[in-house]
Structure 1
Amino acid sequence: MNTGIQVAFLKDKIMDFDTGLFYDQSNQVLKCPTSLIKAFYFDQQDNICFFVERPYVDINGMKGQFASRLHFHKKGVRWSMDLFGIAAIVYYTDAPPHKVLIRFRIIQAKCFCARAHCSSVIAGLKQRVGYFVRKLYQDRPDCLEMALE
């Protein structure tokens, strides 16, 4: 798939979610805490931008860019999404004093399809057999993975 088509596909899927979780996956001492993001937008370079709570009074000791992950899941939607990439703290003068603007560049995306849960034993057995048949013939993947770089 073309990178432009992949980004357009991801934008459409991400906009289906109202919230997401932001994880700082760096190994630095001063890290951004795991944060719930409720409002986000895409800039002109297709980065995801959002505000998080300011982790420290003085954030100058934090690295400007760090490895991070965004996880999107919504109740009632049969799939979820994990985005891996590089986050950067943007020193934005109009940001509220207790917030920090983060710009997230997507490097890799994984979409996961959730399986329906069954309440009866027979339905559970039927689901497991169907799962093994799908895995054997690979007609419907449970995970879609894209690398954007």
Structure 2
Amino acid sequence: MSASQQTQQLTFLQEKIEQIGSAIFFNQSESVLKLPTSLVSNIKVDDFGYMWFFVQKPKQNLQEFDNEFPVRMDFFKKGLITFCR
């Protein structure tokens, strides 16, 4: 895939995610202690393709959680035909 195609795909995803604006965050870790499923908003996709967003801080000490873990995010906005998983 050429750099131009990658840039075009990234731009498309950035626009769609900005248009939708929120997603359901699912932590798919096998850990006993993990961040709960939650609604996230103010999602930004940077020029490297990383998504940035905030989740509500859990009551437990953050050092007890895994630093990295797999997630699934379902993007959907009522009234829009577009969705992304």
Does residue 1:64 correspond to 2:67, yes or no? yes
**DSSP-derived class of the 1:13 partner:** helix
Residue pairs, 1:82-93, within 5 angstroms = 82=85
What is the distance in 2 between the residues matched to 1:55 and 1:43? 26
Q: Which of 44, 56, 81 lines up with 1:78 in the alignment? A: 81
Q: Quick check: 2:17–2:43 contact (8 Å CA) kept in 1?
A: no
Q: Which of 14, 18, 31 lines up with 2:17 in the alignment? A: 14
Measured against aligned partners, the alpha-carbon deviations of 1:90-134 in whole angstroms (never above 9, x if no partner) come to xxxxxxxxxxxxxxxxxxxxxxxxxxxxxxxxxxxxxxxxxxxxx
**DSSP-derived class of the 1:65 partner:** coil
Q: Which consecutive aligned stretches of 4+ in structure 1 deviate over 6 angstroms post-superposition?
A: none
**DSSP-derived class of the 1:33 partner:** coil
Q: Which of 28, 36, 39 lines up with 2:31 in the alignment? A: 28
Q: Which has the higher contact order (CA 8 A, sep 6+)?
A: 2
Post-superposition offset of 1:48: 1.1
Q: Quick check: 2:14–2:44 contact (8 Å CA) kept in 1?
A: no
> Larger radius of gyration, structure 1 or 2?
1
Give me the identity figure in percent.
33
TM-score, structure 2 as length reference: 0.82
Unaligned runs of 5+ in 2: none
Q: Quick check: 2:34–2:65 contact (8 Å CA) kept in 1?
A: yes
Q: CA RMSD in A?
A: 1.6
Post-superposition offset of 1:50: 0.9
Greater per-residue strand proportion: 1
Residue pairs, 1:42-61, within 5 angstroms = 42-61=45-64
TM-score, structure 1 as length reference: 0.50
Corresponding pairs, count: 82
What is the distance in 1 between the residues matched to 2:59 and 2:10? 33
